[in-house]
Structure 1
Amino acid sequence: MPILSVFFGIIVRMWHDDHPPPHIHVEYQGFEALV
């Protein structure tokens, strides 16, 4: 899963082969959000 950005300890990744539509995972200190 490619990393798009890292700032203030927040990692932004984009899944494109998992399932439609392409979506973003945001990780911070063990927590995760999907956008």
Structure 2
Amino acid sequence: MLDPKSARATYKNGVLEVFLSKTAGKREGERIKIE
């Protein structure tokens, strides 16, 4: 399970890195807006 509220991303030299923290709990969906 991932915590979408902890999501962060960086774009440097043509490389997109996305970081998400793992969490325990039930599975449920949530959308993360990517611009």
Instruction: Tell which has more relative contact order, 1 or 2 (C-alpha 8 A, sep 6+).
Output: 2
> Is the strand fraction higher in 1 or 2?
1
TM-score by structure 1 length? 0.34
